[in-house]
């Protein structure tokens, strides 16, 4: 039996297979509110046969958005707009749907990537003042953030908790905290971006503190029967930065706190990063963390072929695999993987006649 198409439990949430659709920003919201684009986009992915769909990084406050086009979940209007999209999708798909809650920190206030404008000035109509652990810009093309006060940190934790409550009210099945790719929680973790001299900076224990506080606040607001996990960058790929050893320490501590899963990526914090990009290049980090924790570990990063994914699982390198760009390029990737590996996935009845003539159907 294919390991890729075997069931998996994240906490008390049962998945029919181990294909996870990773969060992918769409930069298509208006004032943080989901639009018809999100209905079309998420609707398409929800018919893919994957085991779980995690929605894009969703800001817990307006200034937490990466760009002015980012999705948000901070008030009644953003909640209602997202609810409209979810209601449409759920009419035709029973795929579990999760949300990634995020704050971009110093990497906020940017243009949409296809406009190639980079960081936007706080004085621009589409920009705002960014915040971060320390008043240190991402690079020479970025605007300096304001170092967060204790009151700012308390507000951030409250914003995450509030968004978690709204996610619960929307009936979402899972929350993933965004602690990766150089965004705010990652900025606190890395000594490259965290230069604080209070209890949130300095040694590893202090730099991890805010992650634990956010996790506990979110866990307290989200249905106890639904999983809360985290995505991390296991290394900055910069000497003297966040690395695998620190990631393992973080993962172990989160495991003890009752974290339900960890999604292991890398990079995003520093323009000095040197990334050895190749197929499955991030999987060894997931494997090292898997050996240290009890919770399920999700691997991601240039996993594009069915047999690649199958081997990662059958060789116990991770418990699940996540696809991002690959499933945007081929939204029926799980169908094709099931055909190759002799498995089946759920699909709409409207598509049951779609298999090539004379070949067994991978969809049911």
CB 321 within 8 A of CB 15: no
Q: How far apart are CA 10 and CA 293, in angstroms?
A: 14
Catalytic hit among 183, 200, 329, 351: 183
Assess whether 183 carries a catalytic annotation.
Answer: yes
Q: Give Cα separations from 241 to 208, 237, 280 (angstroms).
A: 14, 7, 22
Helices (H) and strands (E) in the chain, counts: 10, 12
CA-based radius of gyration for the chain: 20
Round to whole Å and give the CA distance between 290 and 269.
Answer: 23
Task: Indicate the SS3 state at residue 113.
Answer: helix
Structure tokens at 11: 């906490």
d(CA 236, CA 269): 6
- Number of residues assigned to the chain: 364
42 three-state secondary structure: helix
Would you say 206 and 149 are in contact if contact means Cβ atoms under 8 Å apart? no
- At 60, which helix (H) or strand (E)? none
Q: What is the dihedral of CA 27, 31, 33, 35, to 10 degrees?
A: -60
Active site residues: 183
């Amino acid at each position: 039996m294919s390991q890729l198409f075997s069931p998996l439990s994240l906490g008390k949430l049962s998945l029919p297979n181990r294909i996870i659709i990773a969060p992918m920003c769409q930069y298509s919201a208006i004032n943080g509110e989901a639009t018809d684009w999100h209905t079309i986009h998420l609707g398409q992915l929800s018919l893919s046969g994957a085991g779980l769909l995690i929605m894009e990084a969703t800001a817990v406050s307006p200034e937490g958005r990466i760009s002015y086009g980012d999705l948000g979940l901070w008030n009644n209007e953003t909640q209602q707009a997202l609810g409209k999209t979810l209601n449409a999708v759920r009419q035709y798909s029973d795929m579990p749907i999760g949300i990634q809650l995020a704050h971009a920190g110093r990497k906020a206030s940017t243009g949409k990537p296809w406009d190639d404008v980079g960081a936007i000035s706080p004085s621009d109509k589409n920009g705002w003042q960014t915040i971060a652990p320390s008043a240190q810009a991402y690079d020479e093309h970025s605007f300096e953030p304001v170092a967060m006060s204790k009151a700012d940190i308390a507000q951030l934790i409250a914003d995450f908790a509030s968004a978690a409550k709204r996610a619960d009210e929307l009936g979402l099945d899972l929350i993933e905290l965004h602690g990766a790719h150089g965004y705010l929680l990652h900025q606190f973790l890395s000594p490259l971006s965290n230069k604080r001299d209070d209890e949130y900076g300095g040694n590893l224990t202090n730099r991890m503190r805010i992650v634990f506080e956010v996790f506990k606040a979110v866990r307290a607001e989200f249905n106890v029967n639904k999983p809360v996990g985290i995505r991390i960058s296991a290394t900055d790929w910069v000497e003297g930065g966040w690395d695998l050893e620190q990631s393992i320490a973080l993962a172990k501590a989160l495991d003890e706190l009752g974290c339900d899963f960890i999604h292991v990526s890398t990079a995003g914090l520093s323009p000095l990063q040197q990334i050895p990009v190749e197929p499955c290049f991030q999987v060894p980090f997931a494997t090292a963390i898997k050996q240290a924790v009890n919770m399920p570990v999700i691997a991601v990063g240039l996993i594009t072929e069915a047999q690649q994914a199958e081997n990662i699982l059958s060789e116990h390198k991770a418990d699940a695999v996540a696809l991002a760009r690959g499933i945007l390029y081929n939204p029926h990737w799980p169908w094709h993987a099931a055909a190759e590996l002799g498995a089946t996935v759920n699909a709409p009845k409207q598509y049951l006649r779609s298999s090539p003539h004379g070949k067994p159907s991978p969809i049911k």
